[in-house]
């Protein structure tokens, strides 16, 4: 339980930091540096754990996951930067959880009743969260949240195809693909990506937090508490919302609070039923 919670806190903190930094510098800069940091950490863990080179199939799934991941994380950070984090984070989190379950329904049959209940609550949560009145661009990040959630959900499906025991090797490939694609976009669009030196360390911290979330989640599974790890780690959007409320003073209406609560409940039910 503790490791699963640590995963949610790490991921949620990384998303909050990514959105916050994207309000100060180009989002591509934030994604590029954070992904390079993540790749370096993953490579280091491959050496420490003595993992072999990923198989051709794993390389293919990792490349696909990296492509989906870079779209998802860029859209998320941009959405968090221009919209209300209390809207963007829950919508992204709910879609990211619902899509893999829906795919499972299509290919493996209907899920347990508890998962179906979670899916219904997730849809209601999205409606409640998106009903929050616009206050200076409050809903401007909604489209990006939908794009991000979709890509993150598909990212999860791609990662699920990896061979058993393949962890940090594929993650290094994922982060490498993401970094290369972002660098290509920066060159193609001639985006100004340089930033003040004082912001480099915080962005490095975002990359560390993102990879820490992955590490804590893996450790939680290895500890044997798969159900608890799935539930706790899937609550990362709640961390982002709490940080946005505390540090950015985003106002939470009753409808918004209800949507957040239902989103958290939906993700929890889906996590329990899918474990």
Q: For residue range 237-258, what is the model confidence (pLDDT) as tens digits?
A: 878 878 888 898 877 778 778 8
| pLDDT for the residue numbered 172 | 92
| pLDDT for the residue numbered 140 | 65
Positive or negative, the CA dihedral 198, 204, 206, 209 is negative
Domain carrying residue 81: 2-274
How crowded is the C-beta side of 251, counted as CA atoms within 13 Å? 8
Say how many domains are in the chain: 1
- Please give the structure tokens belonging to residue 256: 């918004």
- Give mean pLDDT in consecutive 10-residue pieces for the chain, a chain of 275 residues: 80 90 88 92 91 90 93 91 82 82 76 83 76 53 90 86 81 92 90 81 93 76 57 76 84 79 84 72
Q: For residue range 4-36, what is the model confidence (pLDDT) as tens digits?
A: 778 889 988 998 998 899 888 888 889 999 999
Q: The tokens 């849809």 sit on which residue?
A: 123
DSSP letter string, 29-60: HHHHHHHHHHHHHHHHHHHHHT--PPPHHHHH
What angle in degrees, to the nearest 10, is found between the helix axes of 27-49 and 168-189?
160
Q: Is 68 exposed, middle or buried (0-12, 13-18, 19+ CB in 10 A)?
A: buried
Q: Whole-structure pTM over 0.75, yes or no?
A: yes
**Is residue 118 a contact partner of residue 268, using CB atoms and an 8 Å limit?**
yes
- Please give the structure tokens belonging to residue 166: 């393949």
């Amino acid at each position: 339980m503790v490791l699963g919670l640590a995963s949610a806190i790490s991921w949620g903190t990384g998303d909050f930091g990514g959105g916050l930094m994207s309000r100060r510098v180009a989002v591509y800069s934030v994604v590029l540096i954070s992904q390079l940091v993540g790749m370096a950490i993953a490579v280091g863990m491959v050496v420490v754990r003595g993992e072999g080179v990923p198989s051709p199939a794993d390389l293919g799934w990792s490349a696909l996951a990296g492509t989906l991941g870079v779209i998802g994380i860029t859209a998320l950070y941009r959405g968090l930067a221009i919209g209300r984090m209390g809207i963007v984070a829950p919508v992204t989190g709910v879609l990211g959880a619902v899509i893999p379950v829906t795919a499972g329904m299509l290919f493996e049959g209907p899920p347990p009743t508890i998962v179906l209940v979670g899916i219904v609550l997730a849809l209601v949560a999205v409606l409640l969260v998106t009903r929050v009145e616009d206050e200076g661009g409050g809903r401007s990040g909604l489209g990006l949240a939908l794009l991000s959630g979709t890509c993150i959900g598909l990212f999860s499906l791609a990662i699920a195809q990896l061979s058993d025991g393949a962890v940090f090797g594929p993650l290094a490939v994922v982060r490498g693909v993401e970094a290369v694609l972002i660098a290509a976009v920066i060159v193609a669009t001639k985006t100004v990506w340089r930033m003040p030196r004082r912001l480099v360390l915080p962005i490095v911290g975002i990359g560390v937090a993102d990879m820490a979330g992955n590490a804590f989640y893996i450790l939680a599974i290895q500890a044997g508490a798969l159900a608890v790890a799935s539930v706790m780690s899937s609550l990362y959007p709640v961390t982002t919302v709490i940080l946005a409320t505390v540090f950015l003073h985003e106002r939470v209406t009753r409808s918004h609070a209800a949507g957040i609560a239902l989103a958290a409940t939906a993700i929890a039910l889906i996590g329990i039923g899918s474990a």
